[in-house]
Amino acid sequence: MWRDKTTDAVASLLDNYNRVSNSIVAYIELINVYFAPTTFETDLRRHIEGCIGWNLRNNYPDLKIFYPDDNHGGTKANRLGEKLTLILDEPIAGIDNELTI
């Protein structure tokens, strides 16, 4: 509902509850969650997460729905100019094996 800024957002959701809830359940069934253990400091970890998100948004416009413009990732003001290699057990759509952070 955060995208619907109208005064009747709640009423609209309730009117369409069955359709919306079925769509949400179907969407959640498609999601895989991946974890990447790290010992990075919080600000560097957030920067890396933001870089992964920006890479997805900029290089895979067909997948942009997973990280739309109104989602905000925390990146440092200046890129570090370092290469980050991601070792993935399986390919993940929109995630490259190497990023410049």
Assigned domain for 72 exists: yes
Assigned domain for 7 exists: no
Instruction: List, as one string, the DSSP characters of 18-60.
Output: HHHHHHHHHHHHH-----------HHHHHHHHHHHHHHHHHH-
> According to the model, what pLDDT value does residue 1 have?
64
Any residues with CB less than 8 A from the CB of 4 and at least 6 apart, and which? 12, 13
Average pLDDT over residues 10-20: 92
What is the DSSP code (8-state) at residue 97? S
Please tell me the total count of domains within the chain: 1
Assigned domain for 15 exists: no
pLDDT classification of 33: cutoffs 50, 70, 90: confident
Any residues with CB less than 8 A from the CB of 52 and at least 6 apart, and which? 95, 99
Assigned domain for 80 exists: yes
> According to the model, what pLDDT value does residue 85 have?
93
Assigned domain for 22 exists: no
Assigned domain for 68 exists: yes
Domain range for 91: 34-100
Res 11 pLDDT > 90: yes
pLDDT tens digit sequence for 38-95: 899 999 999 998 899 889 888 999 988 877 888 877 788 888 999 999 988 889 889 9
